Structure 1
Amino acid sequence: MRLGRLQRWLWGGFAGLAAACAAARAEPAPVRPNFVLILVDDAALMDFGAYGGEARTPNIDRLASAGALFTHYRTSPLCAPSRAMLLTGIDNHRNGVATIPEVLPPEHEGKPGYGLRLAPEAITVAERLRRAGYRTYMTGKWHLGSGKGDLPSSHGFQKSLALDASGADNWEQKPYMPYYDTAPWFEDGKPATLPADFYSSEFIVDRMIDYLETDRATGDPFFAYVAFQAVHIPVQAPRSYTARYEAVYDKGWDSVRTARWQRAQAMGLIPAGAPVAAKPAGLRRWDALPNPERRLLAKSMAVNAGMIEAMDDHIGRLIAYLEKRSALANTVFVVTSDNGPEPNEPVSQRGFPLWMRMNGYDQNLDRLGEKGSFVSIGPEWATAAAAPHSLFKFYASEGGLRVPFIMSGPGITAQPRVSAAAFVTDVAPTLLDIAGIEGAGGMTMTGRSLRPVLSGAADHVYAPDAAIGMEVSGNAALYRGDYKLVRNLPPHGDGQWKLYNLAQDPGETRDLGSTEPARLRSMLADYRSYAKSMGVLEIPEGYDPFRQITLNTRIKILKHHGWALGGILLGGVALVILTLRLIRKRRPA
């Protein structure tokens, strides 16, 4: 009797377990989404159509209309630190890329956080996704090192085509500044040669599609990091795109600056009536320039808009590919910029025109932006592009930090305006959260997942009293609620801390330091706490990033061409000696 009961109990238990297993097998596992992370280079907040820009960007706008368009997202003011934070979710001083090598002062060389290569403990989102079974790809600008263990293939990307430089020509494999002696492209960790018909935006997307197609049969989800060169110097675009904007910028930068400020208010990017940022000192007046110079400058900005539209067209090809392969509906897109618009105008710098001629560059107006053409928009157009905000790339003012940020895809509620604060370090933890992957191992991320905001479950992830710091090469900021503490170094800053209420004054026009001294002291204490915990080094006395890049470039030139310069010098000395000997021989005894 007891045995029978025991048998029935055992059989019942087995039956229940079998039923549970069968139910588990019948219930499909959750489908993990694909990810496409699109990074634009030097795009201002209002450069895309969805944010009120002049350039046509229907594909980016399509993603924005179906997803969440953020209006208060901040990055760093320089490319490599932003890219390192984007990929790791870790502050730039902790992940190893505190600044860029071009502006690194010798006092900081080799110091913790300033090695300018990703620290081994700073595990990228690509590596974390790869470990979880994702296919991982990267195409475009890397700028995080090309030494042993530095390229994408050592940081989680199974296939990659990477440019390890701050920029390069978009039509040919050649450098864009004397700091580099070539355009260092690598494929899967090995030096790569570009095709003869290369155009950067097209080729970057072509190669990404190749990677996706080659491994499509595996059925595994993918992470695709697409890092465009647009719109970094040299600004270049096919003639067909530039031609559409030939007349758009003829009235000059003040006209564009005012129009963007007005559109920003109409679109709700800033409060109605909020003042536009003051213009930096020393800028040229449009109406004081001779007509040939105005024509060149107007067309330079037309090339800039054309380059943005060309990039958007190629983004459209990637979207179309995913749609054709029935992968689009399960793909999360991120579109953002590494920092604000680029103000540098290299052509006006001493010696640069000679370097241009030696490297096959000119500024022929008729074919401006095409192969062999060197274009930059300069500080006046950068000021207009950054409107209604203050300053531009390199600086910690809003024009350098506040950039577009769009997320679209499964699980993301369509939201035409997301006013929640978000930061570049939030992207990696957000993607991992959406994928259902724990961020175990390696260095702790400093960012937060934005998933509650994206799903509509919350309207913010940072409390109003949360203090968020940022520093690159002495330019620094700390956000706390509506308030911002900021310091900018010369030439466009004075090195002094200033306090602004961004809810009322997004253009940073009214320093509240003297009227709210207690808040200034409190936020300065928060910044110092941030700097200490992250390992921020004090900037050397008299440091100027633009003078530093000149010094670092000269050192690089000597490294690249020291043997040639030495040969020329020795040849000159030999010629002088030979000449003196001939003179002595010809003298009468």
Structure 2
Amino acid sequence: MRRSIPFLSSLLFGLASMPANSRAEVLPKPDAPFSGVVAETREKSVPAFPQPVQPRKGAPNVIVILLDDVGFSASSTFGGAAQTPELDRLAAHGLRYNQFHTTALCSPTRASLLTGRNQHQVGFGNLADIATGYPAYNSVWKSETASIARVLRLNGYSTAAFGKWHNTPLWEISPVGPFDHWPTGLGFEYFYGFQAGETSQWEPQLYRGTVAVEPTKKPEQGYHLTTDLVDDAIKWLHNHEAVAPDKPFFLYFATGATHAPHHVPKEWIDKYKGRFDQGWDRLREESFARQKALGVIPAGAELTPRPEGLPAWESLTADQKRLFARQMEVYSAFLSHTDHEVGRLLKALGDEGRAEDTLVFYIVGDNGGSAEGGLNGSDSNLGTLQGSNTEVAFQLQHFADLGSPLYDNHYAAGWSWATTTPFQWMKQIASHFGGTRNPLVVSWPGHVAETQAIRSQFGHVNDIAPTIYAAAGVTFPEKVDGVSQLPLEGASLLPSFADPSAKSAHREQYFEIFGNRAIYKDGWVAGARRYAPWEAFTNLARLFRGGFENDKWELYHVDEDFSQAHDLAEKNPKKLAELKAEFDREARRNAVFPLVPIPDPDTFPSPAAGKTHFVLYEGVERLPTRILPDISARSHKITAAIDNEDGGAEGVIVAEGGRHGGYSLYVKDGKLIYQNNLFGQTLEKLVASKPLPRGKVTILYEFDVDFSLTEAAKGLLSSALVAKARPGRARLAVNGEEVASGHLSLFGGFRSIGTETLDIGKDLGSPVSPDYASPFAFTGRVEKVEIDLKK
């Protein structure tokens, strides 16, 4: 085990190694001169192998843990009702930061965290899923913003990433890349995780490096993604300890938890039965009292009121209360289960004897609690983007199965507000701390002056990179891979490790997500909010509306008003005007404008753009939707050439999507079947009238859109994100003979789900049809599948 150096020495060395014009650093470092001797003969010569770059002696291991969609007050460590004993244990021997901030949304937070810059500088002004053709919003990680992993690796560290990676352009997520913007192209030597904004915790779509891999077990065999990620991370740690125990490592561990779907084993849910019957209003009061008792908020902090548009708990019906309380039981169980699994990772570190020389940053959420489930929550969360059924009576039909593989469930928006106590608002709302303030716990045994201590310096995720560089004695490079680097935007938190009264080095920070925006400067915050987040993706007119000049700005003196309880805009218009002008300067410097650029599907890069004919051969699998022909709401045909040599073949010929939306063409019990799955809520089938013949078979499926929508269809599509589902006439033919036909009430919309893929000869991930279990591989041979888009 490497010996840890005294804290003061580390601090001074770290501060001395911060960026300075006089100490320009270029990475990769040039090869060291040959240290041997080359003479005319072997006897007079001395060999010497090139030596790898060596880290600074005593440089710590670094682990950064990032949870997903966890509000400030969700965990027991910060006053919440969800028990997080492992986080409590880490905090008991470390520091709790109560004025640490994220960007209010996932992709942007990760881009800022992993670079030390502002999210717009990296190219992630909003979600990777809705990239637009502007430099700050195109989701193409900028080469002038090298990642922590790249810088540390070039300074002698091993690097690995596990879990959620939501920072690769969607059109580059394919079996053939390019892979420059995957984790392994951005400095991580090892990656195991998923590429989307969310995935099923039971049936995830995973990658090891750049290669798609399948989970080793099924849900019924005890598989869960968080457990799998921890197991893999522990294996990596053990291998590293076996081979390179003296080499420091940087391990980035980003769970899919607790983002929807809220998937967790039932035994964890049972622990919370009845714990939330009091409702969200009362929960906020209880959490507020616990926060005061824990000291994680100041004694003078005030509890802010419920926002307009969220119902009071007492105004709800008995059915609403019953459903909503269950949703929060599932969510809290999910957070507790996550805490347990992360605790296993930290225990493994301790078992190896590495805890003493490891700096751990545990960031409890990449934004505030999520209101994206809507006012009722949902059991088909991604389907809500297309208008799936979220009625309470409908959800109560599956009440007992929330949290299971069967549902893509999310809690009601009231709980997202409750888990951001004492602040206003929640995820997406970058104008208020409910969206941007998340707990940070730091542990570094022997280097933290106090234990169980609170730190109240203003901080931001872009502070993590400079803190790591300072602790590791790494000089920030002027150039990486020949590219001049943008300066770090964050400031090191290292001085606050030893001194609770150290002044905040981070004196100014702008925030902006979807036009919700704010500016912090020297204890003041001015911000403007544009919409209620529970309507963000079901009311695009609201989300993408203009009129920014008419937005109402609020003003808070947060040095004195911890929770932003008192708007001083009318009392201090001069200060407000000063901060609004400052936001404008920072926005221009960081390329934030234009605000809320509207994504244009016609300009979104895709290998499928402009094509109408596609040929897919045997062995093609795990193709994400963004690189495929978009057949939603379009007349199309699918032609498959198969070999049913023995006459008994069955299985999937082609499938796209999964349990929560998609289509599948398969053979079961000798019959050809086409399954249409709308959000997992409407299942329609065409079944062939006769058995599939023996030998070589040509199968044709045709769908012709009916553009004369029924009133029912119009109602379903009225709140859709994109009108990408339509009714139409479908038919199946075998060797030129029609064997089935029928009318589909609605086809499409599943591409917005984005977590599932297209597969030839099998259905990976979750099954499109309840008639089979994945992968239901075809037992004959699928020679070729052709997809044609009709004019």
- Same fold per superposition (TM over 0.5): yes
Please state whether the residue corresponding to 1:233 is helix, strand or coil: coil
Tell me which residue corresponds to 1:427.
Answer: 464
C-alpha change, 1:478 and 1:193, in structure 2 (3 Å) is same
C-alpha change, 1:158 and 1:287, in structure 2 (3 Å) is same
Tell me which residue corresponds to 1:9.
Answer: none
Please state whether the residue corresponding to 1:215 is helix, strand or coil: helix
- Paired residue for 1:70, among 89, 94, 97? 97
Q: How far has the Cα of 1:458 moved from its partner?
A: 5.7
Tell me which residue corresponds to 2:649.
Answer: none
Tell me which residue corresponds to 1:498.
Answer: 554
2:454 counterpart letter in structure 1: R
Tell me which residue corresponds to 1:387.
Answer: 421
User: Following the alignment from structure 1 to structure 2, what is the Cα–Cα distance between the partners of residues 235 and 574?
Assistant: 35
Tell me which residue corresponds to 1:18.
Answer: none
- Paired residue for 1:141, among 164, 168, 182? 164
Tell me which residue corresponds to 2:303.
Answer: 276
C-alpha change, 1:435 and 1:335, in structure 2 (3 Å) is same
1:462 counterpart letter in structure 2: A
1:340 aligns with 2:368: yes
Q: How far has the Cα of 1:351 moved from its partner?
A: 5.1
Alignment of 1:108-119 (within 5 A): 109-119=132-142
User: Following the alignment from structure 2 to structure 1, what is the Cα–Cα distance between the partners of residues 407 and 387?
Assistant: 14
C-alpha change, 1:131 and 1:280, in structure 2 (3 Å) is same
User: Following the alignment from structure 1 to structure 2, what is the Cα–Cα distance between the partners of residues 203 and 315?
Assistant: 11
Alignment of 1:79-478 (within 5 A): 79-104=106-131, 109-145=132-168, 147=172, 148=178, 149-173=180-204, 183=205, 185-197=206-218, 198-216=223-241, 217-219=243-245, 220-336=247-363, 337-345=365-373, 347=378, 349=384, 352-353=387-388, 364-396=398-430, 397-410=432-445, 411-415=447-451, 416-440=453-477, 441=479, 442-456=485-499, 459-462=502-505, 466-478=507-519
Where structure 2 has 5 or more consecutive residues not aligned to the other structure, the ranges are: 1-54, 173-177, 480-484, 534-541, 543-549, 610-623, 637-701, 706-727, 732-736, 739-791
Q: How far has the Cα of 1:307 moved from its partner?
A: 0.9
Contact 2:56 2:472 in 1 (8 A): no
C-alpha change, 1:457 and 1:417, in structure 2 (3 Å) is closer
Q: How far has the Cα of 1:287 moved from its partner?
A: 2.9
1:186 counterpart letter in structure 2: Y
User: Following the alignment from structure 1 to structure 2, what is the Cα–Cα distance between the partners of residues 270 and 74?
Assistant: 15
Q: How far has the Cα of 1:524 moved from its partner?
A: 1.4
What's the TM-score once normalised by structure 2's chain length? Answer: 0.62
Q: How far has the Cα of 1:208 moved from its partner?
A: 0.8
Q: Deviations over 1:66-110 (max 9, x none)?
A: 111101111101000000010000111111111113455xxxx22
User: Following the alignment from structure 1 to structure 2, what is the Cα–Cα distance between the partners of residues 457 and 294?
Assistant: 43
C-alpha change, 1:266 and 1:560, in structure 2 (3 Å) is same
Number of aligned pairs? Answer: 523
Q: How far has the Cα of 1:428 moved from its partner?
A: 0.8
Contact 1:172 1:196 in 2 (8 A): no
Please state whether the residue corresponding to 2:556 is helix, strand or coil: strand
Contact 1:271 1:504 in 2 (8 A): no
Contact 1:125 1:428 in 2 (8 A): yes
C-alpha change, 1:355 and 1:141, in structure 2 (3 Å) is farther
C-alpha change, 1:88 and 1:241, in structure 2 (3 Å) is same
Q: How far has the Cα of 1:29 moved from its partner?
A: 7.5
Contact 2:519 2:579 in 1 (8 A): yes
Q: How far has the Cα of 1:200 moved from its partner?
A: 1.6
- Paired residue for 1:566, among 599, 612, 635? 635
C-alpha change, 1:570 and 1:172, in structure 2 (3 Å) is same
Q: How far has the Cα of 1:394 moved from its partner?
A: 0.3
CA root-mean-square deviation:
3.0
Q: How far has the Cα of 1:573 moved from its partner?
A: 7.2
Higher mean C-alpha deviation, range 395-404 or range 40-49? 40-49
User: Following the alignment from structure 1 to structure 2, what is the Cα–Cα distance between the partners of residues 102 and 80?
Assistant: 9
User: Following the alignment from structure 1 to structure 2, what is the Cα–Cα distance between the partners of residues 115 and 100?
Assistant: 9
Q: How far has the Cα of 1:273 moved from its partner?
A: 4.7
C-alpha change, 1:400 and 1:354, in structure 2 (3 Å) is closer
What's the TM-score once normalised by structure 1's chain length? Answer: 0.82
User: Following the alignment from structure 2 to structure 1, what is the Cα–Cα distance between the partners of residues 354 and 532?
Assistant: 48
Which of the two has greater strand per residue? Answer: 2
Q: Deviations over 1:299-330 (max 9, x none)?
A: 11111111111111111211221122111111
C-alpha change, 1:287 and 1:518, in structure 2 (3 Å) is closer
User: Following the alignment from structure 2 to structure 1, what is the Cα–Cα distance between the partners of residues 106 and 596?
Assistant: 22
1:513 aligns with 2:605: no
Contact 2:455 2:500 in 1 (8 A): no
Larger RCO (CA under 8 A, 6+ residues apart)? 1
Q: Deviations over 1:483-539 (max 9, x none)?
A: 111111123698322101223433333221121112112111211111111111132
Q: How far has the Cα of 1:212 moved from its partner?
A: 1.7
C-alpha change, 1:569 and 1:320, in structure 2 (3 Å) is same
Contact 1:452 1:461 in 2 (8 A): no
User: Following the alignment from structure 1 to structure 2, what is the Cα–Cα distance between the partners of residues 363 and 202?
Assistant: 29
Q: How far has the Cα of 1:40 moved from its partner?
A: 0.4
Higher mean C-alpha deviation, range 281-290 or range 291-300? 281-290
Q: How far has the Cα of 1:476 moved from its partner?
A: 1.2
Q: How far has the Cα of 1:369 moved from its partner?
A: 1.0
Please state whether the residue corresponding to 1:366 is helix, strand or coil: helix
User: Following the alignment from structure 1 to structure 2, what is the Cα–Cα distance between the partners of residues 393 and 32?
Assistant: 36
Please state whether the residue corresponding to 1:30 is helix, strand or coil: coil
User: Following the alignment from structure 2 to structure 1, what is the Cα–Cα distance between the partners of residues 66 and 225?
Assistant: 14
2:586 counterpart letter in structure 1: Y
